[in-house]
Structure 1
């Protein structure tokens, strides 16, 4: 039972990493780990607490992804075109349709995809401005979206760590008492 417990904790740690690093499953892995532990060991009060917290973190993570990028874009004065471009860039990077980078592979591509998409989208939107001002606004919009996304990822990482701590706090004493 201890081996399974620590394997599930390892899966949850991968979930914490995934909450921060794009392209790796995040808080969903934490929920899966808690559910598996509950199914195998029984849904005690501690497991219910851990499951509740991990589900709240999972739902917040979904909202934080969108809200952080949106707020970063709005703070930088980005248009809807920049936001659509960022989404298209993220999809293209996730599917591997952007040119391969010499370092970092797809994870770096997932960061550069939204940046490039937002820059292109904003550049196309700002047609009435002269080229230098268009470029300046396009870069500002791209950076705003990426900074917002990075801040959102950091918040998700903190929430994921909290969910794993609650799981350990609620279940580890039962595991130790059982052996």
Structure 2
């Protein structure tokens, strides 16, 4: 049982890292870990940790969209810039951007939305200064959202550890 516990804690640790890093599953891994541990232990004392994990997962979905939207709006991005950022994100995720000499897909996930937003804004407004501002705003919003989402995921992992540690190690 202790081996399963540590495996699930490691899985949830990957989920916490994934909440910070685009392209790696995030809070859903924490939810899965709590549910698997609950199945193994009959959900004894897991009401609060499970609730926190589910709320963090749902909040993370909303935060991703809101942070990107906030960054775009704050920088004055148009719908074209937002669409360009989404297209750039998809190109970065699937590695369709030219191969980068370092960083691989993680860097592509940052560069893709930036370039996509800039290209989208240039197609719409034909103003390089505004396009650069919109691109940076979208990326900054996304990064700030990941910081908040990651912090919440770490908190969910800590809640799980606080509630289960005495049960496993005591």
TM-score by length of 1: 0.93
Is 2:74 the partner of 1:75?
yes
* Counterpart residue number, 2:144: 151
Q: How far 1:48 moved relative to its partner?
A: 1.7
Q: Trace 1:52-131 onto structure 2 (pairs within 5 A).
A: 52-127=51-126
1:9-61 alpha-carbon deviations (Å, 9 max, x no partner): 111111111000111000011001001100111111x2121111000000000
Larger Rg: 1
User: RMSD over aligned Cα, in angstroms?
Assistant: 0.8
Distance in 1, matches of 2:28 and 2:107, equals 22
Show the counterpart of 1:130: none
* Runs of 4+ with deviation above 4 angstroms: none
| 1:169 equivalent among 133, 152, 162 | 162
- Give the 5 Å matches for 1:14-29: 14-29=14-29
Q: 1:176 Cα shift?
A: 2.0
Q: TM-score, normalised by structure 2?
A: 0.98
The alpha-carbon deviation at position 63 of structure 1 amounts to 0.4
Q: What is the CA-CA distance between 1:98 and the residue it aligns to?
A: 0.9
Alpha-carbon distance in 2 for matches of 1:32, 1:111: 27
Shift of 1:93: 1.2
Match of 1:11 in 2: 11
1: CA distance between counterparts of 2:97 and 2:42?
Answer: 46
CA distance in 2, matches of 1:9, 1:167: 9
Report the Cα distance in structure 1 between the residues aligned to 2:25 and 2:19, rounded to whole angstroms: 7
